Structure 1
Amino acid sequence: MTRRIVRTSLQLGSILFIVLCVLLFLDNKIRLLPSAIHNRLPAHHPGLVVTDVTITTCSSLNIFGSCKLDETKWHRIEKDLYLGSALLSKAYLHIERKKEEDLEANDAVVIDLKISRLNPANTQEAQGKESWESRRGGVWIKRSTKWHGSDSSKTITGVDVLFGSDAVDPRPGWQVQEIPLLLDTRADGREARLTVRRGPAAKIDKPTPRINQNGKFKIMQIADLHLSTGLGKCRDALPVDHNGGKCDADPRTLEFVEKMLDEEKPDFCVLSGDQVNGETAPDSQSAIFKIAEILKRRKIPYAAIFGNHDDEGDLDRAGTMAVMQDLPYSLSEAGPIDIDGVGNYVVEILGRGSTAHSALTLYLLDTHSYSPDERQFKGYDWLKPNQIDWFKKTSQGLKKKHKEYTHIHMDLAFIHIPLPEYHNPSGLRVVGNWSERPSAPGFNSGFKDALVEEGVVLVSCGHDHVNDYCVPGTNDKGKPALWMCYGGGVGFGGYGGYYGYHRRIRFFDIDMNEARIHTYKRLEWGATESRLDDQMIIDQGKVVV
């Protein structure tokens, strides 16, 4: 027994001695590393840097062909650079990325990227002093082993793909290349363009919307933009001879939006669905970025909900919201994951000054798309019971806090598809244009009643492009209890033009001093300087008919 213990002790001692020797050896090896390598170790939390860029092509007919590279080394941007327009070919951009901490002494980092038919080193400015490497599609990259870290503006840390001659990138630090990729594609205005980020991925600070010092606050509802990938094609554009009959949908739509932003100077925008025209937007990201860039430049906070066309492109609702949540000035949220739909959330507009109390609460809800039971309820989907329960619980949970506001607090709601009560069963006076039958769901899930019960004074929708009216909704005693409005269609990529109807935008001009709301529309063509159907709908926090 004693011998066994002695033998075991000797074995353990030998193992400990060997381990100690190995540690001392490794320590000496580390201490003997060249100073140049020591200097390359990051002194801060490392980020990703781009070490190479390439494009792969493959045939659609070759079942054994693949546009994929080694996934352990390359990250593929999952967008066909031809957008499906090439009959027999596909092409994808691949990016090699590494963490700073994983870079080795001889690793080169991409510090510049250009699109050109000729070697950029041969330009007059470069005079052959620069070394550029050629890649497919006219891509030229310049790499250096003397990199400056992922926090340097000289280091490329991200490359992405957008489409269209009007492509823009609202993300901080990103810039779209002026020249599209040189691929054998048809000239349909949806050519692929690279967008490049230099330096670290910027943290997006969310703005805090607040009532102005004069007690005023203006909301601009942008309904049914129907933006495309590329310029888009106009539908029902009036007047027919405008701009010599030439009409590209997205430029004309966005020119109107920009004009209204500059003239009306809203404090907040609500994108009330169908921002994307699904069938003409094979790359939804490129379409969304166009409206986001306009709002970013003017530093206007905004929130978005979805319509029935927003997920008909390459992104579903969750993917689209993921894009929108990470954009500057966007307060858009996916909402609770256990509630039906994507985009059920609340935006609080704080009172003037430095108060932390809410003056206005905006409820935004997802009205989904098409009826899940077309045989019994034709047309469109409806708000689900758990959404209505979520709304009521949220509203009731906020009421105590809202009472701390020194003035009258008001609740507003925004949806895309109109409620069945937009048919005006009570026969009350309608203010505005009613040119088509409301495309409300065939099943009434009771959301209007929930809005009334919780004291919401206004709900506004989109969806029906050529309706722009407001109609009162009644309570259980038949008395007007809230206003139900349409935004009016703004986008030239969607239908319009019925009975001489021109695109328009609705505004809600709010005076918190009197708890008063005026609403009106502005036209894209015609009486562009006057307010159409200007009416006071709320006074002292109560519905005015």
Structure 2
Amino acid sequence: MTRRIVRTIVQTSTAAIFTFIVIFFLDRHYRVLPNAIHTYLPTHHHGSVITDITLTTCSSLNPFSSCKLDPKKWHRVEKDLYLKQSVLSSAYLHVQRKREEELTSEDKVVIDVTVGRLNPSKSSENSDSEEKWESRPGGLWIKRSSKRGVSDSKSAVTAVDVLFGDDAIEARAGWMLTGSTALLLDGGRKFHAAHITVRRGAPVEITKPVPRVKDNGRYKIMQLADIHFSTGVGKCRDSLPGGWDEKHGGKCEADTRTIDFIERVIEEERPDLVVLSGDQVNGETSPDTQSAIFKYAQLLIKHKIPYVSIFGNHDDEGSMSRAAQMELIEALPYSLSKAGPVDVDGVGNYYIEVLAQGSSGHSAITVYLLDTHAYSPNERKYHGYDWLKQNQIDWFRQTAKGLKKAHKEYRKHHMDVAFIHIPIPEYRDMNLTIVGEWMREASTAPAYNSGFYGALVEEGVMMVSCGHDHVNEYCGLKSINAEGQQPKPALWMCYAGATGFGGYAGYGGFHRKIRIFDFNTNEARITTWKRSEWGEDVGKKIDELIIVDGGKVVAPMQG
């Protein structure tokens, strides 16, 4: 009798569990449950929704003020709205958020956010709607809804962030700035404008473009070196021509002018790939690195150009580490950037393959990118800048050797090139064959030579290009001297010239440059030239030069 009772209980419990699973399955996939059982199960996206937003301000003069709220209820957006530039005040955004399945009938979901001094309802066409604007500190207004299903819709706000500067722009897919009005904080124009940006609905999945040679066999790479973007519009350094500032409203906004230059060359050249070769961010003028990154990213996203990036010595002198920046950049549209192996020194040691034209699965071009770090770890012994570490060189060698078998299956000449930020010591060789402006400034290659040049030559890389030295814009050819034979061209080493007005450009006057590499895979040829921001060379190809022909490194034609 006892066994029969136990068996009946087990069978009943199993049946109940099975019934629950069936009901749960039907609810999630067919949405047919009665309202009494149906409790905010997501269909469009999983995760959290924002139920409230507020702003707190605190002062070092007032020990009773606090920028912290109950952590069980509120999540603080960890960006001081004064960017730690105020001696006395700090301010932070806070959000309340819940997972959709945890929402109750009492909860409201934020569906709109704006900033202004006046109640938006007075100018809204839908001022009679059930949802009313609610005021929060700092001129912040939010609209919330408790309607069934709103948390499961594309109108629900699911994330909140802050970007800074009058030129703040959003680059993330699915995110949008709430308007042109900045948060109303004490101090006004003294501090960078703080703009709220929100994401609605689920995170947008990013499809990465596949680099491929065009049907005519051509592929063009634009190198942007040292754009030195700031938080805010930035200030120009060493801008030319003289008197430019006075002719353009009395000031030269560095990032605005840099963006105009880049966009003009994009429209002239129509590149297939952009390489950002370091110092995209001017660390000392970028208390919010994210805002600086989004400016160049959005420009390339707008033009639908894939891009890759490596870091320079100034990129991580702002508010974000290299690892944090790369995590952000990897998730942006059109970005092909990668952090690289975690067991190799630096962040951003990786490569991309450019596939041959048509539907071929073979690689026609390999682009290697390596992190050259920043400052010397042993300043007393090796003054100046850091160098590529042995495990980076080992990684490069192993990677290049591992790719060779697949590259040989490509019926034409496969071409390998590399990009770095800080030049390698061989750039200082006084016996280089030079094309372009020769050493406006002395090469600031590291004092210690770790041997990367030899690895590049041995693995068949035809060209390496760097930035860092802003007003050097030449290409130098180093040859291998075999005993009793003519010197054999081994590797072209190019400088891009600086692009950004936020960095220096002195040493006798320098017009900002952008370097182009044009690949003709039909002829296995690489041609390079530069474009100028100003001067008599605007609209012309400067120092046009064939550096590879027939799949071989070639010396410049004489005469």
**Contact 1:378 1:442 (8 Å CA) reproduced:** yes
Give 2:181's aligned residue. 179
Q: Tell me whether 1:486 sits opposite 2:495 in the alignment.
A: yes
- Correspondence 1:443-454 to 2 at 5 A: 443-454=448-459
Partner secondary structure for residue 528 of structure 2: strand
The amino acid of 1:385's aligned partner reads: Q
Q: Supply the AA of the counterpart residue of 1:426.
A: N
Deviates more, 1:147-156 or 1:189-198: 147-156
Say which of 372, 380, 397 aligns to 2:385. Answer: 380
Supply the AA of the counterpart residue of 1:320: Q
Question: 2:158 corresponds to which residue?
Answer: 157
* Alpha-carbon contact 1:138-1:181 (below 8 Å) kept: yes
Corresponding position of 2:37: 38
1:54 aligns with 2:60: no
Aligned to 2:29: none
Q: Which residue number corresponds to residue 368 of structure 1?
A: 373
Secondary structure of the structure 1 residue equivalent to 2:318: coil
Q: What secondary structure is seen at the aligned counterpart in 1 of 2:434?
A: coil
* Whole-angstrom distance in 1 between the partners of 2:416 and 2:152: 43
Counting aligned pairs with the same residue, the percent is 56
Give the Cα–Cα distance (whole angstroms) in 1 for the partners of residues 113 and 98 of structure 2: 17
1:364 corresponds to which letter in structure 2?
Answer: L
CA distance in 2: counterparts of 1:210 and 1:498, whole angstroms: 40
CA distance in 2, matches of 1:268, 1:439: 27
- Tell me, yes or no, if the aligned pair for 1:120 and 1:126 is still in contact at 8 Å: no
Identify which range, 448-457 or 236-245, moves more after superposition. Answer: 236-245
What letter corresponds to residue 521 of structure 2 in structure 1?
M
8 Å Cα contact 2:82-2:191 kept in structure 1: no
Compute the displacement of 1:131 (Å). 1.1
> In 2, are the aligned partners of 1:115 and 1:179 still within 8 Å (CA)?
yes
Which one of 374, 383, 395 corresponds to residue 390 of structure 1?
Answer: 395
2:473 pairs with 1:473 = no
Q: Is 1:90 paired with 2:90?
A: yes
**Deviation per CA, 1:331-361, whole angstroms, max 9, x where unpaired?**
0000000000000001110000011110000
Question: Which of the residues 317, 338, 344 maps onto 2:343?
Answer: 338
Q: Tell me, what secondary structure is at the counterpart of 1:413?
A: strand
Measured after TM superposition, the shift of residue 500 of structure 1 is: 2.0
Quick one: distance in 1 between partners of 2:14 and 2:476?
82
Report the counterpart of residue 195 of structure 2 in structure 1: 193
The answer to whether the Cα contact below 8 Å between 2:237 and 2:502 also exists between their aligned partners in 1 is: yes
Partner residue in 1 for 2:224 = 222
- Output the CA distance in 2 between the equivalents of 1:475 and 1:93: 60
Contact 1:411 1:457 in 2 (8 A): yes
- Deviation per CA, 1:418-457, whole angstroms, max 9, x where unpaired? 0100012434334334200001000000001100000000
Match of 1:142 in 2: 143
Report the TM-score when normalising by structure 2.
0.90
Matched-pair contact (CA < 8 Å) for 1:152–1:200: no
Counterpart in the other structure of 2:524: 515
Does structure 1 conserve the Cα–Cα contact (< 8 Å) formed by 2:432 and 2:476? no
SS at match of 1:161: strand
Distance 1:482 1:295 in 2: 30
- 2:292 is aligned, of 271, 287, 291, to 287
Trace 1:166-315 onto structure 2 (pairs within 5 A).
166-176=167-177, 177-188=179-190, 190-242=192-244, 243-244=247-248, 245-315=250-320
**CA distance 1:150–1:300, change in 2 (3 Å):** farther
Distance 1:256 1:340, change over 3 A: same
The alpha-carbon deviation at position 204 of structure 1 amounts to 0.8
CA RMSD of aligned residues (A): 2.6
Change (3 A) 1:37 1:59: farther
Asked if residue 497 in structure 1 is aligned to residue 498 in structure 2, the reply is no
Distance 2:97 2:438 in 1: 55
Are residues 23 and 41 of structure 1, via their aligned partners in 2, closer, same or farther at CA, if it must alter by over 3 Å? farther
CA distance 1:151–1:378, change in 2 (3 Å): farther
What is the one-letter code of the residue matched to 1:313? Answer: G
Residue type of the partner of 1:216? R
* Deviation string, structure 1 residues 56-76 (Cα, Å, up to 9, x no partner): 222235677542223333222
1:531 aligns with 2:533: no
Letter in 2 for 1:535: L
* 1:406 Cα offset (Å): 1.6
- Cα distance in 1 for partners of 2:511, 2:230 equals 20
Contact 1:148 1:155 in 2 (8 A): no
Question: Equivalents in 2 of 1:37, 1:69: separation in Å?
Answer: 35
For 2:185, give the aligned amino acid: L
- 1:196 offset after TM fit, Å? 1.4
State which of 538, 542, 545 in structure 1 corresponds to 2:552. Answer: 542
CA contact (8 A) 2:236 2:254 kept: yes
Return the alpha-carbon distance in structure 1 between the equivalents of residues 65 and 387 of structure 2.
45
Deviates more, 1:276-285 or 1:149-158: 149-158
- C-alpha spacing 1:211/1:246, structure 2 compared with 1 (3 Å): same
Q: How many residues are paired up?
A: 535
Moved more, 504-513 or 85-94: 85-94
The SS at the match of 2:263 is: helix
Say whether 1:358 aligns with 2:368.
no
Contact 1:365 1:415 in 2 (8 A): yes
Partner of residue 434, structure 1: 439
Q: Closer, same or farther in 2 for the Cα pair 1:213/1:388, shift >3 Å?
A: same
**Aligned mates of 1:190, 1:461 — CA distance in 2:** 32
**Is the contact made by 1:189 and 1:230 (CA closer than 8 Å) also made in structure 2?**
no
Paired AA for residue 531 in structure 1:
K
The CA distance in 1 between the partners of 2:166 and 2:36, in whole Å, is 44
- Contact kept, 8 Å, 1:47 with 1:150, in 2: the verdict is no
Alignment of 1:415-430 (within 5 A): 415-430=420-435
Change (3 A) 1:374 1:124: closer
Q: CA deviation at 1:416?
A: 0.1
Instruction: Give the conservation status (yes or no) of the 8 Å contact 2:432–2:477.
Output: no
Using a 3 Å threshold, how does the CA distance of structure 1 residues 493 and 209 change in structure 2: closer, same or farther? same
CA offsets, 1:189-217, max 9 Å, x none? 72100011122110011100100000001
CA-to-aligned-CA distance 1:146-179 (integer Å, 9 cap, x gap): 1545563322112110001101111112111211
Q: Which amino acid aligns with 1:210?
A: R
In 2, distance between residues paired with 1:314 and 1:487? 27
User: Residue 321 of structure 1 contacts residue 332 of structure 1 at CA under 8 Å; is this kept in 2?
Assistant: yes
Q: 1:488 to 1:21 in 2, by over 3 A?
A: closer
TM-score by length of 1: 0.93
- Mapped partners of 1:315, 1:341: distance in 2: 15
Counterpart Cα distance in 1 of 2:430 and 2:450: 16
Q: From the superposition, tell whether residues 429 and 144 of structure 1 become closer, same or farther in structure 2 (CA, over 3 Å).
A: closer
Deviation of the 1:184 alpha carbon: 1.0
The one-letter code matched in structure 1 to 2:208 is K
- Distance between the aligned counterparts of 2:151 and 2:171, measured in 1? 20
Inter-partner Cα distance in structure 1 for 2:151 and 2:405: 47
The alpha-carbon distance between structure 1 residues 476 and 372, as it changes in their structure 2 partners (threshold 3 A), is farther
> Distance between the aligned counterparts of 1:256 and 1:344, measured in 2?
29
Aligned-partner Cα distance in 2 for 1:253–1:15: 78
